[in-house]
Chain A
């Protein structure tokens, strides 16, 4: 089946640093979604991308839909302690979502 490869698997950064993570697929997706899971909670949608090349921001978060439609990037600027969590990329496959394995983000203050 379709698989999304996320990297890095985990990051441990200093508060204030910028963060970049990405997601690649062997297949084309027409939509890319980025979710964040806080400890003890379910995934929450951060950003949705619908068009190749699209760049969308949500506060300190910026995500891009790759021009090949096989990848997407998420950047977090000036990280803060509450950015801690697991970030998942996802793409729709008919009625369901296909997820990556997640990037664990830890922030050192």
Chain B
């Protein structure tokens, strides 16, 4: 069975601070895919990034960066110089080839960025 753990329920930071959201996953599959989604207060789910299990290269996109470490089964997400618009719930999700492609979500981390 697959499992995604986001231990941080809620994080509050002041604008311009850097913040890292943790994600730890469990799976027995050797091929799998990891995702991050953002859910702003308006409620929609916005896809942020996908990472394959065989590609451990870290990725940076603007103020966002992702650190994938297979050795620790972690796929952490860092926002640099946070902004109020980053306030949202962030979900990490796992998808394996053996589970008909359904996503297994973590319980999310609520990020509150204040002025």
Do the two chains belong together in a single complex? no
Residues of A near any B CB (own CB < 8 A): none
